[in-house]
Structure 1
Amino acid sequence: MHAPVEAKVEMRAGRPTLVIDGLPTAPLLYALTDSPGARWSWEEVPARNIALFAQQGVRLFLGMIFLEEMIGVDGRLDIALARRQVAGFLAAAGPDAKVMLRVHFHVPLAWGAENPDECVGYADGPAVPEERWGLVRVTGHDNDQPVRASFYSEKWREWARRYLTDFCGQLAATPEGDAVFGLQVAYGVYGEWHQFGFFCHDPDTGGAATRAFRRWLRNRYGSALELSAAWGRAGLTWEAVTAPDSAARERADLALLRDPAKQQAVIDYYTFLHEGLADAVIALAQTVREAWPRPIMTATFFGYFYCLFGRQAAGGHLAVARVLASPHVDALCASPVYTPGAMPPGGTGHSKSVVDAVRRAGKLWLDEHDRATSVTRCPWDPNFAGTIEDDVAVLRRNLLQAPTRGGGAWCFDFGIVAGTPAFARLGLVGWWDHPRLQAEIGRIRAVMASRHGRPYRRCADVLVLHDPWAFAHIASRRHDPAKMVFGVMPVSEVDPVSPLLTDGLVEALYRSGLIHDDALLSELPTLDLQPYKLVILATTPLLAAAQRTFLREHVAVDGRHLVLLGYAGWSDGRRVGAEVAGAWSGFTTRASEQPRPEQRLEVDGATETLSLKEAFVLPEFGPAERDDVLGRWANGATSALRRRTENATWWTFALPPNSPGTWRAIGRRAECAVVNEHDDTTLLGDGLLVVHSLAGGERTLRVPGGPTIRTTLPPRSTVVFDAESGEILLG
């Protein structure tokens, strides 16, 4: 065993850097899952895959541990299982390996049975107790309607903090604990801090959450009289406050928007849910910080924004800025986007979070790479098909996505439980248990390590603004459990526009050849806007008076282009409507029922048609004489405009462009750099240019402030260039 590891995240050369024992360390990990058969490091197949990654120079590993599995009937914590988990990694990878443990805070089943008032309640029906038999995945029922301790239960929080403190103290004093560089606090659906059952149900209406909500309201409003006025319910008392029912949560007043004058109770409830969720995460990270006797990296799943299945308010992370502001959290993590436009070859492979905000906050971003390979296929997609060449291309695209944004990644190996087409010959193998893929892991790790010491640079001149809190003002409906197919993206029946504003927009930008940064709307006053020629208001339906003034006086200046998408500015926090938007943007705006909502766009020769399946209330604009009409609805009404003013150019789109070509045309008009004229996923940052192409072919790649690279891309490939020299690093 080596001396006790000390780890921290600090800003070096413009990027959050994982520093272990004083040395910058490439943040690439191999991770075991929490599935039986694939989760214990000492077992045959996991140990083999740990060793394979170690042979490629990977020295960081991630394993799971559940507190409930270490607590005896006498209530005592026995950490032998955790010690054995760490020891297995060291035995397979070598004594200089470093381990991060994901610590889950699921309570024993008996705790839930004994404390029903401390558990999650569901607005649409009672919780369903589990019947466990055999080797079960503890998280397996998280997204059903399970009995789980509520995030808002003080009794659960005390339980979690007490056992976590004990766990840290015991483990840190062992030889195995000497190798632990990080602890990832995990709870909620799959440990990812989603509300339990959020796909198809409406949490949390339990006793603990209701009591916490009432306390939160007292702090917010001070008196029941003020609360009654805000909610429009005369005579309301604190004791009469309850969580909104499903009907209230699913009701929109105008298009997809809630009217604060009618639904402040629902808006308040979601605000409370997300602030309390963030506070639970921060409290556990702080417990690690205080209980571990030496510097350690604290990590958590948090910041999910894209690909939330239309359930951002029900189960996402609207209070991400609260976590980013905490000194107790060092690293944020997320699974990848699972949309059809992101995961397969030809897709974008991007993260679920607004990752540039994470970097600016000084936190390390860690992407989870859990894309199946052709080695063992995909356990939840029987139609998955691929080749080793496809696997290599996707591996490069996904793992190097994060470094271009100043972060890192881990490979999360479900392949061990996936089976293999050659089972009779091979048995169980990991997703990356193939010589080509292992060699590629080594090459990718070397590229990531080579970035350390170089100043981080990202030549983005497009800025995309998102407001996660907007989803407290946007209605969402539960998905029908009978129609849910695991691995298939469900579609929102209340809000057909937000997927275009989030997933559709970002996928188009990644494939446009433009280089964009993303940001939280709350960051806007602190951002250096000088590099950005094009600013996009994506999910920003709520704009307060100060934000509107800032946009007019500090963003729409110096010839910059400002693009308003969807219902941007339709609410000011008190009122909602087209006239609220028009009053600040200057565009004559109406809410129009579109019986056949089809928008045809033409921007400087680029054309695009977007349509919705059913009638919907959507923006319609009255063009002024000076305006360029860029889009029309099927009935001829105007759906998109461009207006030049003295200081800026304003654009407005009822439905956001989702075509890479349209965004290239908008970018050119704003004089933004276009790195790639083709619809390839094009990533630029940290001295790397990564181009993922399905069709391949001749390309001229123009790096801002760097070389012009003329090359021929193979089909279904990812080629990685040095952005400063133009040299091919991986091809």
Structure 2
Amino acid sequence: MRPTLADAARGRILFGGDYNPEQWPEETWHEDVRLMKAAHVNSVTLGVFSWSTLEPEPGAREFGWLDRLMDLLHESGVGVVLATPTASPPPWMGRLHPDTLPRDADGRTEVWGGRQHFSHSSATYRRYAAAITEDLAARYAGHPALTMWHINNEYCTFDYGDEAAAAFRRWLRTRYGTLDALNSAWGTAFWSQGYDTWDGILPPRHAHYLKNPAQVLDFRRFTSDMLLECFTAERGIVRRYTPHTPVTSNFMPLWIGQDAWRWAGEEDVVSVDVYPDPRDPLGGQRGALVHDLTRSQARGPWMLMEQAAGPVNWRGVNHPKPRGLGRLWSLQAVARGADAVCYFQWRQSRQGAEKFHSGMVSHAGEQGRTYQEIRRIGAELASVGAEVTGTRIDADVAILHDWHSWWAGAHEGRLSREVDLPEVLTAWHRALWEAHLTCDFAHPEHDLSGYRLVVVPQLYLLTDAAVGNLLSYVGDGGTLVCGFLTGVADEDDRIRPGGMDARLRGLFGIRTLHEWWPLEAGETVRCEGFRGTLWSEEIEAEPGAAETVPYRGGELDGLPAVLRNGRAWYVSTLPEPDALRELLASAAAGAGVRPVLAGLPAGVEAVRRGGLLFLLNHGKEPVTVHVPGSHQEMLGGEKVTGSVTLDRYGVAVLRP
């Protein structure tokens, strides 16, 4: 049986962050441990960027400092998530082995001096990565501080070099078997691109004009698979030594480079890094989207591996978090399924590229506001941990998302560059979030039978299996609401006859999809009762087969903007936020889905996890929330009857 996050958490919420002690004199470590204990820190991640410290020259091993630190942390009651340091190879590797360095699509080599400068296909890199991982696992397998393994960090490398090209060809031969099959899948009859030898195939490097979209799609699939090979190779090593210790690697939210559904299936613990903009009025919703997606990938509790205690360093203007916002967002993660709340990083760096990225201990030190807020968060997480860890969240709504569809739909030769899938996904999730409808995410081929309502913001590419799954879901009594530009292409990015899969057209009551009508930035189209943005479509409905909401005015006057054919809805534009919320709330009500709590003030989020009700105020003013019955407020300890008042960025955790 595979280990889980529960094996590391042990009935508590893990709280801490990345710890980079090699940046500091050793006498600082004891001060760090004192501050950790005062802040209820019970977990730190070590070694993420320590390769050159651990292996200062090829084959050397400097483990003494890590031995002392692991012992100190264990003595202080702080567990260790031990990382393999393979995200950032030492400078000597690139200097001695140029084949380990990746090349971009223009042929430029990415050299050392930053991070993630490795070729996922390089045999030399993989050999060195395996060796350092082997020695770490052998040395610390029995150490009592070890609670989890963290492999690499934020896998995000693309490589277009010669070694990657050879690996790409091997991957293609495995996928297609013959050149005839590849030429068919890639549509190489277009622009005279037919291949007569495998050796002629290259990654989609810089081209005179548009690249072959099917080739680009396969290269994205290949890249995700090569990075996954790197992960599983290191995972296999640490598992040999510590089969009962869970293994993770942190996702970046909605990162285009990984098929995160497939990756999540290979991880014991699914973890993610979340950095909403503190100036974004919808920052809380964007965080909730990532939480819901990660929880769905984990199929249960998950780990918030990184967040910022204050400002980051990579936005154009890096704003700190107002007082209380960090607490709100940390408890929001717990409400939406996190059993670990961690930060990058523990102590703010004094040098290097991220010296202005905040830490749990900022440059202001122990008396600074940041650390004082961290102490409060740690204490509160300790108070609720025993009741919340390991519990699940029930959702009657699923949002469908697929990386392969995203990859295919993002090709540079598409109909509108204004259509950005993450923003479309965010708009639909926002509508459900503001309607207080808890939702999961799911792959379009997943079992959907447990959901009353399934929504599809956009799935440009759908496999035959996915189409069949949607039809079966509706046929078995489910309600489906589908957004524009869905079911257009098959798995090879080949446009389906009629511009949409014929089975889907039948499901939605579409007789003919005549034309797609993308809108300019800022342009809207008038519909009966609302305005649409971003997109519109010239659709002819089957006579008498569908209820419609028509377009009003313009070229599409009188044609359906929204079709409803029984339990299947098709929305051919992106309604403005209020209209989309009302549409999805109506569909949910018809499917028997109810909000978590009725009558909530604007900006207040309600989530049930286990037997607890989390109320989170994302507004800047205090609000009163009516809550039927009597409850115990777990953060403050008082009894609540009938209503509770939330301060700005306030949180209440209620137990009946």
The answer to whether the superposition gives a TM-score over 0.5 is yes
Q: Indicate the residue corresponding to 2:625 in structure 1.
A: 699
Q: Indicate the residue corresponding to 1:589 in structure 2.
A: 513
State the Cα distance separating 1:239 from its structure 2 match: 1.2
2:208 is equivalent to residue 267 of structure 1 = no
Alignment partner for residue 297 of structure 2, among 358, 362, 379?
358
2:236 is equivalent to residue 296 of structure 1 = no
Alignment partner for residue 565 of structure 1, among 477, 480, 483?
483
Contact 1:713–1:719 (CA<8 Å) still a contact in 2?
Answer: no
State the Cα distance separating 1:639 from its structure 2 match: 6.5
Q: Indicate the residue corresponding to 1:336 in structure 2.
A: 274
Alignment partner for residue 155 of structure 2, among 158, 171, 193?
193
Q: Indicate the residue corresponding to 2:632 in structure 1.
A: none
Q: Indicate the residue corresponding to 2:258 in structure 1.
A: 317
CA–CA distance in 1 between the matches of 2:513 and 2:457? 17
* SS, match of residue 435 in structure 2: coil
2:641 is equivalent to residue 717 of structure 1 = no
User: What amino acid does structure 1 have at the position aligned with 2:118?
Assistant: A
State the Cα distance separating 1:99 from its structure 2 match: 1.1
2:84 is equivalent to residue 103 of structure 1 = yes
User: What amino acid does structure 1 have at the position aligned with 2:35?
Assistant: L
CA–CA distance in 2 between the matches of 1:271 and 1:80? 41
Q: Indicate the residue corresponding to 2:337 in structure 1.
A: 405
- Label 1:126 to 1:671 Cα distance change in 2 as closer, same or farther (>3 A): same
- Label 1:275 to 1:54 Cα distance change in 2 as closer, same or farther (>3 A): same
2:529 is equivalent to residue 611 of structure 1 = no
Alignment partner for residue 500 of structure 1, among 423, 447, 461?
423
User: What amino acid does structure 2 have at the position aligned with 1:24?
Assistant: R
Q: Taking CA–CA contacts closer than 8 Å with sequence separation of 6 or more, which of the two structures ends up with the larger relative contact order?
A: 1
- Label 1:170 to 1:656 Cα distance change in 2 as closer, same or farther (>3 A): farther
Contact 2:106–2:206 (CA<8 Å) still a contact in 1?
Answer: yes
CA–CA distance in 1 between the matches of 2:461 and 2:573? 16
2:45 is equivalent to residue 62 of structure 1 = yes
Contact 2:39–2:374 (CA<8 Å) still a contact in 1?
Answer: no
Q: CA deviation digits over 1:648-668, x for unaligned, max 9?
A: 242324326644743434433
Q: Indicate the residue corresponding to 1:145 in structure 2.
A: none
User: What amino acid does structure 2 have at the position aligned with 1:581?
Assistant: M
* SS, match of residue 413 in structure 1: coil
* SS, match of residue 643 in structure 1: strand
User: What amino acid does structure 1 have at the position aligned with 2:45?
Assistant: L
Q: Size of the alignment, in residue pairs? A: 612
Q: CA deviation digits over 1:273-308, x for unaligned, max 9?
A: 11221121111111111134x632212113x453x4
Q: Indicate the residue corresponding to 1:223 in structure 2.
A: 178
State the Cα distance separating 1:434 from its structure 2 match: 4.3
State the Cα distance separating 1:47 from its structure 2 match: 5.2
Structure 1 segment 522-537 matched on structure 2, within 5 A: 522=445, 524-525=446-447, 527=448, 529-530=449-450, 532-537=451-456
Q: Indicate the residue corresponding to 1:207 in structure 2.
A: 162
CA–CA distance in 1 between the matches of 2:485 and 2:139? 53
CA–CA distance in 1 between the matches of 2:598 and 2:119? 48
CA–CA distance in 1 between the matches of 2:372 and 2:500? 57
Alignment partner for residue 129 of structure 1, among 111, 120, 135?
111
CA–CA distance in 1 between the matches of 2:564 and 2:343? 47
CA–CA distance in 1 between the matches of 2:369 and 2:375? 6
Long gaps (5+) in structure 2:
350-354, 630-639
2:614 is equivalent to residue 690 of structure 1 = yes
* SS, match of residue 496 in structure 1: coil
CA–CA distance in 1 between the matches of 2:357 and 2:400? 43
2:66 is equivalent to residue 82 of structure 1 = yes
2:147 is equivalent to residue 181 of structure 1 = yes
User: What amino acid does structure 1 have at the position aligned with 2:479?
Assistant: H
Q: CA deviation digits over 1:560-610, x for unaligned, max 9?
A: 32111131111123531582426222324233344546445879x7x5x45
* SS, match of residue 104 in structure 2: coil
2:308 is equivalent to residue 371 of structure 1 = yes
User: What amino acid does structure 1 have at the position aligned with 2:248?
Assistant: A
Q: CA deviation digits over 1:703-730, x for unaligned, max 9?
A: 9xxxx985354352232333x61xxxxx
623-632 or 439-448, which moves further after superposition? 623-632
Q: Indicate the residue corresponding to 1:485 in structure 2.
A: none
566-575 or 623-632, which moves further after superposition? 623-632
State the Cα distance separating 1:476 from its structure 2 match: 5.1
CA–CA distance in 1 between the matches of 2:215 and 2:32? 51
- Label 1:18 to 1:711 Cα distance change in 2 as closer, same or farther (>3 A): same
User: What amino acid does structure 1 have at the position aligned with 2:563?
Assistant: R
* SS, match of residue 227 in structure 1: helix
Q: CA deviation digits over 1:88-140, x for unaligned, max 9?
A: 534xxx4332111222213222322333234311112412434x6xxxxx53x
Long gaps (5+) in structure 1:
1-7, 11-15, 133-137, 143-147, 196-202, 252-261, 479-491, 726-731
State the Cα distance separating 1:206 from its structure 2 match: 0.9
Q: Indicate the residue corresponding to 1:465 in structure 2.
A: 400
Q: CA deviation digits over 1:676-698, x for unaligned, max 9?
A: 44443333323332232215434
CA–CA distance in 2 between the matches of 1:336 and 1:279? 25
CA–CA distance in 2 between the matches of 1:31 and 1:383? 21
CA–CA distance in 2 between the matches of 1:265 and 1:570? 18
User: What amino acid does structure 1 have at the position aligned with 2:427?
Assistant: G
Contact 1:640–1:654 (CA<8 Å) still a contact in 2?
Answer: yes
Alignment partner for residue 283 of structure 1, among 228, 233, 257?
233
Q: Indicate the residue corresponding to 1:482 in structure 2.
A: none
- Label 1:337 to 1:536 Cα distance change in 2 as closer, same or farther (>3 A): farther
Q: Indicate the residue corresponding to 2:122 in structure 1.
A: 153
- Label 1:180 to 1:570 Cα distance change in 2 as closer, same or farther (>3 A): same
CA–CA distance in 1 between the matches of 2:483 and 2:230? 34
* SS, match of residue 144 in structure 2: helix
CA–CA distance in 1 between the matches of 2:76 and 2:91? 37
State the Cα distance separating 1:386 from its structure 2 match: 5.0
- Label 1:341 to 1:466 Cα distance change in 2 as closer, same or farther (>3 A): farther
Contact 1:599–1:634 (CA<8 Å) still a contact in 2?
Answer: no
User: What amino acid does structure 1 have at the position aligned with 2:436?
Assistant: G
CA–CA distance in 1 between the matches of 2:345 and 2:424? 31
- Label 1:552 to 1:129 Cα distance change in 2 as closer, same or farther (>3 A): closer
CA–CA distance in 2 between the matches of 1:419 and 1:305? 22
Q: Indicate the residue corresponding to 2:564 in structure 1.
A: 643
2:55 is equivalent to residue 71 of structure 1 = yes
Identity within the alignment, %: 19
User: What amino acid does structure 1 have at the position aligned with 2:398?
Assistant: L
State the Cα distance separating 1:209 from its structure 2 match: 0.8
103-112 or 677-686, which moves further after superposition? 677-686
* SS, match of residue 683 in structure 1: strand
CA–CA distance in 2 between the matches of 1:25 and 1:691? 23
Structure 1 segment 443-462 matched on structure 2, within 5 A: 443-452=380-389, 456-462=391-397
Contact 2:81–2:150 (CA<8 Å) still a contact in 1?
Answer: yes
Contact 2:272–2:305 (CA<8 Å) still a contact in 1?
Answer: yes
Aligned-residue RMSD, C-alpha: 3.8
CA–CA distance in 2 between the matches of 1:618 and 1:79? 61
Contact 1:63–1:99 (CA<8 Å) still a contact in 2?
Answer: yes
Q: Indicate the residue corresponding to 1:520 in structure 2.
A: 443
Q: Indicate the residue corresponding to 1:243 in structure 2.
A: 203
Alignment partner for residue 604 of structure 2, among 664, 677, 680?
680
Contact 2:395–2:438 (CA<8 Å) still a contact in 1?
Answer: yes
